[in-house]
Structure 1
Amino acid sequence: MLSVALRTLRARWATFTGSFVALCLGVALLTVTGLALASSATAPERAPERFAAARVVVKGQDTLRVPTPIGDRESRLAHPRPVPAATVAELRRLGPVVADRSFPVRAADAPADLVGHPWSTAAFAPYDLATGRAPRTAGEVAVTGDWTRPGRQLHTDRGPVRVVGTLTSRGFENAVFFTNARAAQLAPSVTQLAVEADAAAVREAVGDSAQVLTGNARRLADADPGRDGEALTAMNSLFGTAGGVTAFVSVFVVASTFAFAVAQRRREFALLRTAGATPGQIRRSVLTEALAVGALASATGCVLGSHAAPRLAAWVVDNGLAPAWFTIGDHTWPYHAAFWTGLIVALCGATTASWRAGRTGPTEALREASAESGTITRGRLLCGTALPLAAAVTLGLSLAGDPADLLHRKSYISRPMLLITAAALLCPLALRPLTRLLTWLPGACAMLVRENTAAGMRRTAALAAPVLVTVALAGSLLGATATLNRAKTTEASERTTAAFVVTPPAGTGFDDAALRRLRTVPGTEVSPTSSTAVHVLEDDVALIRSEARAVTPGPLAATTRLPLAAGEVSDLDDDSIIVNEEWQRHRVGDRVRVWLGDGTPRTLRIAAVMTTGTGDNGVYVTPRNAPGATVDRIDVALTDDADPNTVATALRKALGPGNGQVLTRDAWLRSTHPDTNRTTRLGLLLVLGIALLYTGISVANTMVMATSDRARDLAVLRLAGATRRQVLWLTAAEALTVVAAGALLGLLVSAVNLAGMASALALLSAPATIELPWQALGATTALCALLATTSALAPAALALRRRPAELAGVRE
């Protein structure tokens, strides 16, 4: 059987080229993603940046720790605690203490990420003066980098300042150094400080009131010390999804290729049976062919992946998806995983085909008719029926238990695979009536397309299946994000009743003076709110963090319509809280133990309960229960006799230049419209790109394999009087008809998948409107149509170069 299989591969190399390319590409992608995942499993600890030259850094507590029966649970505080004044006084007895303050700075014609510090902290990076001198007065600053020069006047959101010096950049920030006194005015709170003293003495003085950082731990005093871990987590999700889809789609391509190849070779197998070959020998022959193709393709894919992985690492770094230090490490397990996965995929794809080949009877060699029957096997029908039932059961359990889980990315990416697989398995049953419906018009061309697609149903299914998978993936994945974003937008629109929304510059808040000025604008009801967080311990073991807003009940009711399931907004006070139905305890009147944004424990009464919605219905508390929070949004309602234009002008005047912007309700809703984050968007585009690539491979392979079968049909048409152009038009029409059928089936699968998400939104009392990505679906279908027609016309045109009588096998 080995010699027969090898001779078959040599004689039918075109038949197996598509499988080889698909497997090789799949293994290469699996190798690349495996190497990327292995290299990003752990992030190397960064060296200290801002405090590299500091001896000891004392940082206020920024982590909440709650003891539970199974150990302490931790969560980041929304408002890190400042270092207590008593602790600072005790530290001053040990040695020099330098208070650190960091705050965003905005200036015209300057980097967007400017951050302010007191001058005394510049020595800890350390920064060196390149030009000019240090700031000495409140109106002077020194900046890092070469984007400006001494003597330039800057108009910042912190007031006008003059640059008196520049410092050599250290590469991790664009800093603006004020005098110590001016920095203390701009940022009164001290959350960390540098101490020139013995570390042991500092720890004894500090106790549990703050953190003492020495050595490499000083990096925790830098801005966003967890950014590397967050970037790697997002990248792992991106590559994990790409790897999963690669394996998922490659199984379809390989399985359909082997199934179609076996269908084409039924007479060949029948002759082997007539010559005495047993069914087992036929099956072993097919599996041996798959083993040879799979081993060679997998090995080639591993080599390609080893060369592509470093280029991928450079690409993700250049596009900001990974930290600058990210590179591909020296790992071996991704090669083993990719190689054996590719080989298993090849063997699994050929298994069903081998059983079909083994059932070929000797009398098949006597058949002259090429019409196909029984295009769907019993096993395929069973699997295709079981998968929708499994999808329905799992969907029902999720809707009954936790509908919110269906809105998570891992769910709306993985769940559609069940229905897509089922549709691909059962598509031969739907293709015959669907193609007849698409070719219902009278005429010879429509009749020929209808009969040809019906007679070659295996060829039709092999072409339609990858189109179905690609369109269904595009509709399900992009439609899920669009549907969820539409629901969030509608929620925000229904919740916001204010005429204007006043927002500060990014990363800042409003001070008391700005609030007083805005409150004096006539004809308005002003509702200032702050971002904060609340923690609750569920089941005595799970510490859950909920985003919250600090509000004043009266103004809130005038500017916001909360989606309440029970209770009243007016019942909110300093001893109560508004929660949503996602909380474990959410009955009005119950008291819940919570930890506020700065870690302060409180027991609050539930004043009202909101519906769960899309997850943006957070928690509401009063400003007294949000210590450390600054006002970052002001909603403004109008009285009945107020003129909107007059009020808008007065609000902008009261706000002052550079202190934020006054937006109408509609403008604010547009500016805060939820968009899919960049990493997720790139991940979905990568998934769809992989699917389209495999579609092209599958379609081209199917058309090339079918050329030998179609050659005689095309010759008969030529002998019947059809011109070469007419035959090519007919070939293109058949390809477009099959693509249209596959796209319609894919659209149907997308609609069913999105209906599940809409059901979850309805159960969560969120707007449930299905949003299909028509533009993406149209582009995907057009690309599939282009691939199909090109792959159909190219071999047909080559075949038509021969004389019709020669193609038909007629002697002249």
Structure 2
Amino acid sequence: MWALAVRSLRHRKGGFAATFLALFFGVVIVMACGGLLETGVRNNAPPERLARADVLVTGDRSYGLPGRSADDAESAVLEERVPVDGAALDAVRGVDGVGTAVAERTFDAALLTEGGGRTDVRGHGWASAPLAPYELQGGGESDGESGARKGRAPQGPDEVVLDARTARAAHAGVGDRVRLAAHGGSAVYTVTGIASPRVEGGVERHTVFFSDARADALAGGEIADIAVTAASGQDVGELASRVGDALDGTPVKVVTGDDRGAVEYPEVLSGREQLIPLAAVFGGLAALVAVFVVSGTVALSVQQRQREFALMRAVGGTPRQLRRMLLGETLMVALLAAALGWFAGPPAGEWLFERLVNGGMVAHVVEYRSGWVPAVAAGGALLLTALAGGWAGARRGVRARPTEALAEAAQQERWLHPVRLILALVFLGGAAALAIITVKVFDGPIAASTAGPTVMAAAMGLALLGPGLTKLMMLLLSGPVRAFSGVGGELAVLNSRARAVRLAAVVTPIMLATGMATGQLYLQTTQVAAGEEAFQEHLRADAVVSSAAGGVDPALLDTVRRTDGVAAASAYVTSTGFVERGKAGNGSGGENGGSGAERGTGEDGLPLQGVSAEGVTKTTSVSATSGSLAHLRGRTIALPESEASAYGVAVGDTVRLRLGDRARVDVRVVALFEGRAGYGSALTPATLLAPHTTDGLPEQILIRAEDGADPAGPLAELAARHPGLAVADRDALLDANAEDVRTQAWINYLMVGMIVAYTAIAVVNSLVMATRNRRREFGLQRLAGATSGQVLRMVTIEALLATAMGVVLGTLAASTSLIPFSVAAADSWWPSGPLWIYGAIVATAAGLALSATLLPTWAALRSRPAQAALAAE
């Protein structure tokens, strides 16, 4: 039977090509998502600037969430850099086997040029230069026979060394003077040298070296990490273990190897926290779609061969032989598709990964990895799916009675079985449960975590009931179709009703593509619109003052308030914290154990906004419902009413917070306010929050103008007196926020588009297979007197019917997700987003259906009617 399977493949290239394409692209897409997941789990990030450091000691940003038992422990990544205590440096230097231990000072800076130009750089102390290593070179004007002026290390507070890339960007050489902004101010520095990194691949980020004393001042006196080199002959692993023992009990991490890149680029850790769930969610969705598409394609291929199986039974073929033949055919196609998919999957995954890096989700230093696990998982899952589909089809096929070979038309299959009905009810019940959870449990953007899977669950349930729903919709559509389309419509209706099971196999991928595209795209547009609306409602400022790098000097706040036309001004800084304890005396939570509050802070933490009590009510829309925002000074906090209720606190109570840099602080609740569900942030004094952020300063100063006044001119003069400051209006602030939200949405669009494109391939596959199988029918119709034009009109109406049914069912599936999410995120029953998106989805579905139907039909009509009538189905 294996030889028969091979011959069958040779003579049924069209049907098996469709199965091959479904399997091949399924393996590719699942492998690509699997590669992203493996990349996130491994999170390998080789160092660049710190390549010579054998061991790195950095503050531990991993935080055990409060209110969790030991069996249910969860962790989150703190948003800010966690500084290393100075005592740790002495402890490390005393460890046996340590060659050198350098205290790393790291801070953001910007090189300012005439005309408003700016280059973002990262500042460090010169003591860390040998860790790449960076080596001084000549630069600037010629000096003697060497053709270059020899540089030297920075020594004074007004001296710097630029890396070669930064020097080229600034057109600066040794002896030139440049202006650099950092830590809330700017100053002019003399370039004492140009340095180049002697590390493979170079250093991606622009780098500037200051004297160690100046770097310490600009870093706020904080140590970012300790870079350790091993003594000659010292094993790095043993050294790392001894360093860890010496620092036992301190909140630090000791890393070696490719983990060192996460120290140099802290965004590696935050990117991992986004990449893993993204790859897992879309990988699972892609796998489910692929399984669905592959099983449907294999099942449709088997359905179309019922007469062939009956003929084989009539000439003596046994059920066992038929099963072996079908499974052999499926196995050969599946193995070929999986083998080619294993080669194409990693490049596809790497292409996706590059898009995520370009979008800013993942740090550029993270290495893409796609090993044997995604390959085996993708290939194995779809191979088993194909074999299961082939076995199920073989089981139905071998039951065909030999006498069916004499029938003029295939008998309508019985489609509703107890198992199918149970599975349909399970999926539809799951979709209903997810929809209820979305509305009742979640608020704001987090509701997308349950709204997304709802579409797929509903689509799966509707697909299992597809033949029945197709018959029902045909009853509803048959009257209008007959009334407006004449004989062609009559034939289309009769064909569709007689072939409801096979028609459902065509309608299902259209429904899946429409439902996935509509649900996921409008999910993103609704989320973006809700986020932008919430930010716009919260912001009442007319202008904002910001710095080129490192935050705004708090001393500028009083200067801004005295500026003509300014009614109020407030410092502004954001971060994320975690509530460890509600009312004082409830017990501590967090990493020390204990529950504390009635509800522990989730893994996303509690958003915090640092503001000034004097200007918060005029620059934001927050209005206290209890207590007073004027008391927001010192160690205090104002909470949204929903959060206060969850933590069981009221005005006057004390809340223990874990801030973004791991600092723990007890704050008194001085006000409650009504925040927008899902988008609320707690308010703290900027003087409290800013020192616990990476920059250590407020990010911006929000400004409210006096009625009828325009402070733009005086503020521009203020910015001119303080190089590095920038003044923007309200629209620029809104645009900046919208850009951040849309960047995240664009990444989701990319992943959704990939899956929708795969379902579109399934649509074309199914329609081409179904149409090519009707050559005999078309031939008989033409022998009976039908013209080619009439046949084309008939199949056109059939394609439009299938599209209409698929679009209606897909829209129904999408609505099970969009309506609950819109209610949860935007308090509206109608999702946000332009209608042209839905129009484009419908038009694309119709275009695919028509092209995949009419082209094969046109090809079939080119043959003579008598020849076509004798063709096998």
Q: Is there any run of 5+ residues in structure 1 with no aligned partner, and where?
A: none
Kept after mapping to 2: 8 A contact 1:534/1:619: no
Q: Map 1:305-324 onto structure 2 (within 5 A).
A: 305-312=341-348, 314-315=350-351, 318-319=354-355, 320=357, 323-324=364-365
**Inter-CA distance 47–285: structure 2 relative to 1 (3 Å threshold):** same
Q: CA deviation at 1:376?
A: 5.3
**Inter-CA distance 566–220: structure 2 relative to 1 (3 Å threshold):** farther
2:772 is the counterpart of 1:707: yes
2:694 is the counterpart of 1:630: no
The answer for the alignment partner of 1:556 in structure 2 is 616
Cα deviation 1:138-187 (Å, max 9, x = unaligned): 65532102423416554544244454431113415311234456545644
Code of the residue aligned with 1:432 in structure 2: it is M
The answer for the alignment partner of 2:107 in structure 1 is 102
Query: d(CA) in 2 for partners of 1:635 and 1:390?
Result: 46
Q: Map 1:53-452 onto structure 2 (within 5 A).
A: 70=70, 76=78, 78=80, 80-81=82-83, 83=85, 100-108=105-113, 112-131=119-138, 132=149, 133-134=151-152, 135=154, 140-146=159-165, 147=168, 148-150=171-173, 154-157=178-181, 158-161=186-189, 163-169=191-197, 170-180=202-212, 183=215, 186-192=218-224, 216=256, 224-232=264-272, 234-270=274-310, 282=319, 287-312=323-348, 314-315=350-351, 318-319=354-355, 320=357, 323-324=364-365, 326=367, 328=369, 331-350=371-390, 352-354=392-394, 356-357=396-397, 360=400, 364-365=404-405, 367-368=407-408, 372=412, 379-397=419-437, 399-400=439-440, 402-404=441-443, 407=446, 410-428=449-467, 429-430=469-470, 431-433=473-475, 435-436=477-478, 439=481, 441-452=484-495
Kept after mapping to 1: 8 A contact 2:45/2:261: no
Larger CA deviation: 60-69 vs 678-687: 60-69
SS in 2 for 1:128: strand
Q: Map 1:606-625 onto structure 2 (within 5 A).
A: 606-609=669-672, 613=676, 615-625=678-688
Code of the residue aligned with 2:107 in structure 1: it is S
Code of the residue aligned with 1:105 in structure 2: it is A
Query: d(CA) in 2 for partners of 1:34 and 1:568?
Result: 51
Q: CA deviation at 1:350?
A: 4.1
Return the match for 1:492 from 514, 535, 544: 535
Q: CA deviation at 1:570?
A: 4.6
**Inter-CA distance 759–122: structure 2 relative to 1 (3 Å threshold):** same
Query: d(CA) in 1 for partners of 2:756 and 2:690?
Result: 50
Kept after mapping to 1: 8 A contact 2:543/2:727: yes
Q: CA deviation at 1:478?
A: 1.7
Kept after mapping to 2: 8 A contact 1:317/1:326: no
The answer for the alignment partner of 1:757 in structure 2 is 821
Query: d(CA) in 1 for partners of 2:547 and 2:821?
Result: 35
Cα deviation 1:736-758 (Å, max 9, x = unaligned): 44223312321232122111212
The answer for the alignment partner of 2:654 in structure 1 is 591
Code of the residue aligned with 2:367 in structure 1: it is F
Code of the residue aligned with 2:804 in structure 1: it is A
Code of the residue aligned with 2:713 in structure 1: it is T
Kept after mapping to 2: 8 A contact 1:130/1:167: yes
Q: CA deviation at 1:672?
A: 0.8
Query: d(CA) in 1 for partners of 2:838 and 2:824?
Result: 24
Query: d(CA) in 1 for partners of 2:262 and 2:48?
Result: 7
TM-score by length of 1: 0.82
Code of the residue aligned with 1:647 in structure 2: it is P
The answer for the alignment partner of 1:741 in structure 2 is 805
Kept after mapping to 2: 8 A contact 1:51/1:218: no
**Inter-CA distance 758–796: structure 2 relative to 1 (3 Å threshold):** same
Return the match for 1:649 from 706, 713, 723: 713
Query: d(CA) in 2 for partners of 1:687 and 1:398?
Result: 20
The answer for the alignment partner of 2:512 in structure 1 is 469
Cα deviation 1:225-245 (Å, max 9, x = unaligned): 554454455444454445433
2:858 is the counterpart of 1:797: yes
**Inter-CA distance 633–719: structure 2 relative to 1 (3 Å threshold):** same
Kept after mapping to 1: 8 A contact 2:796/2:854: yes
The answer for the alignment partner of 2:547 in structure 1 is 504
Kept after mapping to 2: 8 A contact 1:138/1:179: yes
Q: CA deviation at 1:418?
A: 0.7
TM-score by length of 2: 0.77
The answer for the alignment partner of 1:692 in structure 2 is 757
SS in 2 for 1:107: strand
**Inter-CA distance 438–749: structure 2 relative to 1 (3 Å threshold):** farther
Q: Map 1:710-721 onto structure 2 (within 5 A).
A: 710-713=775-778, 716-717=781-782, 720=785
Query: d(CA) in 2 for partners of 1:804 and 1:51?
Result: 75
Kept after mapping to 1: 8 A contact 2:557/2:569: no
Q: CA deviation at 1:484?
A: 1.4
Cα deviation 1:275-295 (Å, max 9, x = unaligned): 788xxx65x566545522332
SS in 1 for 2:80: coil
Query: d(CA) in 1 for partners of 2:606 and 2:47?
Result: 32
Q: CA deviation at 1:707?
A: 2.8
Larger CA deviation: 70-79 vs 27-36: 70-79
Code of the residue aligned with 2:698 in structure 1: it is V
Kept after mapping to 2: 8 A contact 1:28/1:303: no
**Inter-CA distance 596–229: structure 2 relative to 1 (3 Å threshold):** closer
Q: CA deviation at 1:619?
A: 1.6
Q: CA deviation at 1:334?
A: 4.3
Aligned-pair identity in percent equals: 24
The answer for the alignment partner of 1:639 in structure 2 is 706
Code of the residue aligned with 2:120 in structure 1: it is D
Kept after mapping to 2: 8 A contact 1:219/1:225: no
SS in 1 for 2:574: strand
Cα deviation 1:772-803 (Å, max 9, x = unaligned): 56444444444443333332233222222223
Kept after mapping to 2: 8 A contact 1:9/1:289: no
Q: CA deviation at 1:35?
A: 5.5
Aligned CA RMSD, in angstroms, stands at: 4.6
The answer for the alignment partner of 2:564 in structure 1 is 522
Kept after mapping to 2: 8 A contact 1:80/1:191: no
Cα deviation 1:243-298 (Å, max 9, x = unaligned): 43343223333333344345444444555666788xxx65x566545522332233
2:710 is the counterpart of 1:662: no
Kept after mapping to 1: 8 A contact 2:33/2:349: no
Code of the residue aligned with 1:491 in structure 2: it is A
SS in 2 for 1:49: coil
Code of the residue aligned with 2:162 in structure 1: it is V
Query: d(CA) in 1 for partners of 2:812 and 2:227?
Result: 66
Larger CA deviation: 268-277 vs 668-677: 268-277
Cα deviation 1:540-564 (Å, max 9, x = unaligned): 2567542311223342112212387
Cα deviation 1:310-336 (Å, max 9, x = unaligned): 53465356543575562546x545444
Q: CA deviation at 1:491?
A: 1.1
The answer for the alignment partner of 1:481 in structure 2 is 524
Query: d(CA) in 2 for partners of 1:305 and 1:339?
Result: 8
**Inter-CA distance 63–269: structure 2 relative to 1 (3 Å threshold):** closer
SS in 1 for 2:711: helix
Query: d(CA) in 1 for partners of 2:747 and 2:785?
Result: 52
